[in-house]
Amino acid sequence: MSRDDVVFLTGYPSLVARAVCAELLASDPKARVVALVRGKFLADARTSRDELPAERRKRLRFLEGDAAAIDLGLSGAEWKGLAREVTRIHHCAQVTYLGVERKTAEHLNVEGTLEILQLARACEKLECLVLHSTAHVSGNRRGTVLEDELKAGQSFRTVVEETKARAELVARAAMDAVPIVVVRPSTIVGDSQTGEVDRFDGPYLLVLLVVTSPPELALPLPGRGDEPLNLVPIDWVARASVALGREPAARGKTFHLVDPDPLSTRRVFELVARAGGRRGPRGSIPANLAKALLRAPGLDRIAKSPRAFLETLTTPVTYDARNTAELLKALGVPPCPPFESYVDKLVEFVQERVRQRRASRAAAELEVPDPLG
């Protein structure tokens, strides 16, 4: 990488943006990162930066702004400064919470993409804009989905899927003028080394069901469980995204970041149960009944939108990633690690957070108001 490689990063300090930032700084000792941070997240951003090695902290600076605001919420001088010095952009700012309101999803996912494209067009030294999308832009499609496919008559199960697909359409329309790489990870889970995740959603509903249930209870599987559940750890997604963003041959293309050999939902459930010291699933229950189960008191406070996730479990879809596999191999990036290799870390992380939450509630219940206070 060039000594003058300056990467503009949106979405910080979300899990995806933090992982991408860490990979950018670790893989290129000369790269500098300018991260766009909303004002209410600045304290969290600084805390995250403080956890980096000292040498990497010096190469990360923050700009207060908003990825979906006009000119990214920056002053004229700040915006022009980025246009002069930025060589690469990773647009990670996005709404992925499946229960989000349409207005919010459209604002950040679609309007935010338009704003970042405006900056990209103005950048004098831009080599690549990496748009972080999702494989779920395929909506309710079944069968095999190719990397270069987008509009294929699908309908969308959530506004997240719909607005991310619209963002891709906007980006594709700009590819003649802007060097763009689109990365589409499947369902992202925590770090394969630490298990860290920033929100208990999606597949973590399965983990929560396991770790919060009595050890002697064999839970039924939500749905039949024979469809593939394609999961990818965030650290591998970040490594692949950064590598593709630096590769000239990737420009103008779309890449599925997926597990090439995904497990069935049933097998994932079995591995999670074993890691959590619980019995494996016994039988199955209809999806509608499973949705009611996932609304149990307590679960809804730490996990959101179970209905939308369960709908993804009943869609038999395969994401073709041959182009991605070939290019990543040439770049020295290993394939996505198998779920079996890191499931223990994911479950341990959830167990520790559940213990902390219970301890916090117990401590609050033991507090006695001071009558003289």
Question: What pLDDT, on a 0 to 100 scale, did the predictor assign at position 293?
Answer: 54
**Using a CB cutoff of 8 Å and minimum separation of 24, what contacts does 277-281 make?**
277/215, 278/210, 278/211, 278/213, 278/215, 278/217, 278/218, 278/219, 279/215, 279/216, 279/217, 279/218, 279/219, 280/218, 281/218, 281/219, 281/220, 281/221, 281/225
**DSSP string of 251-269, one letter each residue:** TTEEEEE--SSPEEHHHHH
Report d(CA 238, CA 149) in Å as an integer: 23
Rounded mean pLDDT of 257-275?
Answer: 92
Q: Could you report the per-residue pLDDT of 177-207, keeping only the tens digit for each?
A: 999 999 999 999 999 999 999 888 878 877 8
Nearest to 239 by CA among 328, 177, 310, 316: 328
Q: Could you report the per-residue pLDDT of 86-107, keeping only the tens digit for each?
A: 999 999 999 988 778 999 999 9
Give 302's pLDDT tier (boundaries 50, 70, 90). very low
Identity of the amino acid at 355: R
Question: What pLDDT, on a 0 to 100 scale, did the predictor assign at position 285?
Answer: 56
Report d(CA 255, CA 322) in Å as an integer: 9
Q: Give the domains, in start order, of the chain with CATH numbers.
A: 6-198+225-261+316-337 (3.40.50.720)
Report d(CA 5, CA 352) in Å as an integer: 39
Cβ–Cβ < 8 Å for 327, 252: no
| Residues 6+ away with beta carbon under 8 Å from 147 | 184, 253, 254, 255, 256, 319, 320, 321, 323, 324
> What are the respective helix, strand and coil percentages of the chain, to the nearest 5?
45, 15, 40
Rounded mean pLDDT of 30-45?
Answer: 97
Report d(CA 77, CA 80) in Å as an integer: 5
Rg (CA), the chain: 21
The pTM assigned to this predicted structure is: 0.90
Question: What pLDDT, on a 0 to 100 scale, did the predictor assign at position 32?
Answer: 97
Name the one residue in this structure whose structure tokens are 């899990």: 15
Helix (H), strand (E) at residue 358:
helix 343-366
Whether residue 299 is predicted with pLDDT greater than 70 in this model: the reply is no
